[in-house]
Chains A and B, each alone.
Chain A
Amino acid sequence: MFAYIIRRILYAIPILIGVNLITFVLFFMVNTPDDMARAQLGAKQVTPELIQSWKEEHGYDKPMFVNAKAEGVDKLTDTLFVQESLKLFVFDFGFSDAGRDIGNDIKQRMWPSLELALPTFIIALITNISLALLLVLFRGSALDTSMMIVAVMIMSISGLFYIIAGQVVFSKIWHWVPISGFESGWGGFKFIILPVLIGVFGGIGSGVRWYRSIFLEQINQDYVRTARAKGLSELKVLFGHVLRNGMLPILTGVVVVIPTLFMGSLIMESFFGIPGLGSYTIDAINSQDFAIVKAMVFLGAVLYIIGLILTDISYTLFDPRVKLS
């Protein structure tokens, strides 16, 4: 088990290097340090010397991939790419254009994101699975058909509408909750409740359909027939057999998401003024702050890979047939 995890982590390194290469090509090849220097120094007379000194100051004065001046291994390592990648690997994200420490910002803003994303995730999971089980229990009935149509309709509406409509109805007209804002801890309940409910509702359509199809696939299996044949009630069949065996495909889709909850939701956070990583990213995109976007891309990739590893581990916990080796 331990050896397996180590191997998976080692396997993640080439992927992270690939991610770095993509971001590096995107941000440095197209928007070269010279361009950055020009943009940062402003429209004043920019001399080559000024650019050079700016690059030295920020450590951008090295060649991109191959350093012809250096010798031996340094030819490849003493370059901008390796230098930038290494920094990211030790989670040193550097400074944003506004001069703030990105690593510090991330540490601070992670928790508000989580306070919104985690309840949404858990409540959505429980609602979707229980609704799906209910529909499977009444499969083929009018309830099932009509609920499936409703699910397609919910799916067909952009999340932006739910947010705008929710804000207008619950905050502007009925004044039940404040329109936006944040406060950490239980005091922030009134700020969190609306975005959580909207997030859950917006995801119900696709969620219920997905879980329902998983359960329906199980319900035609032989073991379910056997369970019924030995006289188990339909409820026992559903919870004892269908749900447990459906866990495996569910885990594949669910566990991988858990680490990325830290990243928060871009639109939710910016609509509801929650100072999490999602709104952080959106602000960075709008102000074209490449350093932050780069950091978030890397962070997202790391969290996704952690999610993949967690998925594999969770398999061994839920399915005794799977052995990690």
Chain B
Amino acid sequence: MMISLLWTDVMVWILVLALIAWGWVISHSPQVRKQWHMIFQSNIAISCAVILLFYLFFALMDSVHMRFEVETTEGSEKAAEVQYQADMVSLLDQFFKHSIENTERTYSSPFATEEYTKSIVVDDSGVSKQEYLPLKHAGIDLDKGESSQSDILGKSLFALLVGLLISDLLIALHIFWRSRVSRISFMEQIQQVIQGKTQLPWRTAYFTFAVLIVLFTWLYYLSFSYHVLGTDKVGGDVLYHSLKSIRTGVLIGILTTLVMLPVAVFLGISAGLFGGWIDDVIQYLYTTLNSIPGVLLIAAGVLVMQVTMDNNPQWFETTVERSDLRLMFLIIILGITSWTGLCRLLRAETLKISQVEFVTAAKAFGVSKMAIIRRHIMPNLMHIILISVVLDFSGLVLAEAVLSYVGVGVDPTMHSWGNMINQARLEMAREPMVWWSLFSAFIFMFVLVLAANLFSDRIQTVLDPRNNS
């Protein structure tokens, strides 16, 4: 086995490292710690954070790609040089091997044991008739003709128990760790959690966590014997598609920020602090970029990217690498087109801060420009940056769907909610309707975006100085 990282994998892990480093740095500032403490004091905020972490976990699981050795059959002579399979598999794929392999012929509805449409069968006596064919990989534990209801119910109960067990175990572990840190007994800590007397609303967090774990265990366990969310046109498992799409959505949301943030911060602060021609040039830059309608600018960028990629087929070897490269370019294009809003805000705020007494005093003491930026300006811009990052995240997840529909989104072969919706448009016109693809994409997207929106609301109420009055 060989770990082989795609470009976006590298980017996402860099971001994770950066986040950890940032968290370590700010955890030393008592003021910032207090702010975050306040953010998480809200029940909604903490359960949203748990949900967001859950999504992030899936995105990260799906961001470790590896290749396996080709199993050589001709004895051990070739063992010296190891051959690797061409297609990459992510950690998530490893857990969902059964969903990848157990494809059906065509559509089937959630929990169905038969195909969705009738097909023509010729029986032994040569008479052809139309009937629903049974699915190959659904309800495998069933006897012929047995109803799937009791089987599903039994398996659900089992999954429920296992899920509760796992989540309780993990929660107990966390409570134990916290009781060690705060030096009170384990039972006391549990009591506090149950009565809701902890400083942060851990009860809500644990509850959300347990619900998510139970839900996932249920989906996962049943996915071995049923297609829980149905299958798509070519018989692929919709649950697996939706889970794979998490990575695309989350990556577009957070990596675009990674690309956009340095540009916006650097230009915004320079414009606000230095003024003069630097300010003029930067203002001209963002007014110009801003005046082009967003979708069109992105479309233009993507069209050019397609042409460039067609001209340079040597950049990628496999289709996975190709769609990944396209995702990376899309993220860069989105980053280039979306820094203007934040830049304008930062410029205005820097302008305001640089007039305040403490900055004037620092200047008078001969503190260098860099030190002023680091010690006085950056800390005062943090809330703006944070609010806009979280706000942009949900916007970008939604934008991915629209861009995929317009035809300038991610690669059509890539798993993404946008592509799922795009296909669903035709499926809804079928008779009877094929609703489950759209439904799955809808639920997965809605929960993520709603959590991000509610979380950003909380950040805004806590961090925005205008709300303190």
Please, which residue of chain B has its CB at the minimum distance from the CB of A15? B288
Interface residue from B295, B299, B394, B428 paired with A156 (Cβ < 8 Å): B394
Q: How far is the CA of A172 from the CA of B432 in the complex (A)?
A: 11
Q: How far is the CA of A293 from the CA of B297 in the complex (A)?
A: 9
Contact B453 A297 (CB under 8 A): no
Q: Is B433's CB within 8 Å of the partner chain A?
A: yes
Q: How far is the CA of A167 from the CA of B425 in the complex (A)?
A: 10
CB neighbours of A193 from chain B (8 A): none
Q: How far is the CA of A294 from the CA of B292 in the complex (A)?
A: 11
Q: How far is the CA of A276 from the CA of B396 in the complex (A)?
A: 26
Q: How far is the CA of A220 from the CA of B466 in the complex (A)?
A: 12
Interface residue from A15, A159, A161, A286 paired with B407 (Cβ < 8 Å): A286
Q: How far is the CA of A286 from the CA of B412 in the complex (A)?
A: 13
Q: How far is the CA of A293 from the CA of B298 in the complex (A)?
A: 11
Q: How far is the CA of A23 from the CA of B406 in the complex (A)?
A: 19
Q: Is B449's CB within 8 Å of the partner chain A?
A: yes
CB neighbours of A271 from chain B (8 A): 425
Contact B307 A297 (CB under 8 A): no
Contact A266 B406 (CB under 8 A): yes
Binds B, one of A27-35, A93-101, A128-136, A241-249: A27-35
Q: Is A313's CB within 8 Å of the partner chain B?
A: no
Contact A35 B307 (CB under 8 A): yes
CB neighbours of B406 from chain A (8 A): 266-267, 282, 285
Q: Which of A132-172 contact B (CB under 8 A)?
A: 152-153, 155-161, 164, 167-168, 172
Interface string of B368-381 (1 = CB under 8 A from A): 00000000000000
Contact B308 A30 (CB under 8 A): yes
Closest chain B CB from A216 CB (angstroms):
10
- Do A155 and B288 form a contact, CB below 8 Å, given A161-B442, A267-B405? no
Q: How far is the CA of A288 from the CA of B407 in the complex (A)?
A: 10
Please, which residue of chain A has its CB at the minimum distance from the CB of B305? A30
Q: Is A89's CB within 8 Å of the partner chain B?
A: no
Contact A290 B303 (CB under 8 A): yes
- Do A19 and B453 form a contact, CB below 8 Å, given A26-B304, A282-B406? no
Contact A156 B450 (CB under 8 A): yes
Interface string of B423-448 (1 = CB under 8 A from A): 01100110001000010001001100
Contact A19 B445 (CB under 8 A): no
CB neighbours of A155 from chain B (8 A): 449, 453
Q: How far is the CA of A277 from the CA of B104 in the complex (A)?
A: 42
Q: Is A22's CB within 8 Å of the partner chain B?
A: yes
Q: Which of B377-436 contact A (CB under 8 A)?
A: 394, 398, 401-402, 405-408, 421, 424-425, 428-429, 433
CB neighbours of A201 from chain B (8 A): none
- Do A19 and B292 form a contact, CB below 8 Å, given A152-B457, A158-B398, A286-B407? yes
Q: Is B85's CB within 8 Å of the partner chain A?
A: no
Q: How far is the CA of A301 from the CA of B287 in the complex (A)?
A: 10
Contact A156 B453 (CB under 8 A): yes
CB neighbours of B184 from chain A (8 A): none
Closest chain B CB from A10 CB (angstroms):
14
CB neighbours of A14 from chain B (8 A): 284
Contact A152 B284 (CB under 8 A): no
Closest chain B CB from A111 CB (angstroms):
19
Interface residue from A27, A160, A293 paired with B401 (Cβ < 8 Å): A160
Q: How far is the CA of A305 from the CA of B284 in the complex (A)?
A: 13
CB neighbours of A30 from chain B (8 A): 304, 307-308
Q: How far is the CA of A266 from the CA of B399 in the complex (A)?
A: 13
Contact B303 A297 (CB under 8 A): no
Interface string of A1-36 (1 = CB under 8 A from B): 000000000000011001100110011001100010
Contact B296 A281 (CB under 8 A): yes
Contact A31 B307 (CB under 8 A): yes
Q: Which of A21-60 contact B (CB under 8 A)?
A: 22-23, 26-27, 30-31, 35
Please, which residue of chain B has its CB at the minimum distance from the CB of A17? B288
CB neighbours of A217 from chain B (8 A): 466
Q: Is A85's CB within 8 Å of the partner chain B?
A: no
Interface residue from A26, A285, A294 paired with B408 (Cβ < 8 Å): A285
Closest chain B CB from A174 CB (angstroms):
14
Q: Is B134's CB within 8 Å of the partner chain A?
A: no
Q: How far is the CA of A152 from the CA of B394 in the complex (A)?
A: 11
Q: Is A263's CB within 8 Å of the partner chain B?
A: yes
Contact B401 A158 (CB under 8 A): yes
Q: How far is the CA of A296 from the CA of B295 in the complex (A)?
A: 11
CB neighbours of A103 from chain B (8 A): none
Contact A266 B288 (CB under 8 A): no
Contact B296 A296 (CB under 8 A): yes
Q: Which of B318-346 contact A (CB under 8 A)?
A: none
Interface residue from A27, A159, A161, A260 paired with B304 (Cβ < 8 Å): A27
Contact B301 A15 (CB under 8 A): no
Closest chain B CB from A94 CB (angstroms):
16
Which 10 A-B residue pairs are closest in the complex by CB-CB distance? A18-B288, A300-B293, A156-B450, A156-B449, A301-B291, A304-B291, A30-B304, A158-B401, A285-B299, A286-B407
Known: A161-B421, A167-B428; 5 extra A-B contacts, CB below 8 A, are A22-B297, A156-B394, A266-B406, A267-B405, A300-B293
Can you list 13 contacts pairing A with B, beta carbon distance less than 8 Å?
A22-B289, A152-B453, A152-B457, A158-B421, A158-B442, A266-B402, A285-B299, A285-B407, A290-B303, A296-B293, A297-B292, A300-B292, A301-B293
Which residues of A come within 8 Å of B, CB atoms?
Answer: 14-15, 18-19, 22-23, 26-27, 30-31, 35, 152-153, 155-161, 164, 167-168, 172, 217, 220, 260, 263, 266-267, 271, 281-282, 285-286, 288, 290, 293-294, 296-297, 300-301, 304-305
Which residues of B come within 8 Å of A, CB atoms?
Answer: 284-285, 287-293, 295-297, 299-301, 303-304, 306-308, 311, 394, 398, 401-402, 405-408, 421, 424-425, 428-429, 433, 438, 442, 445-446, 449-450, 453-454, 457, 466, 469
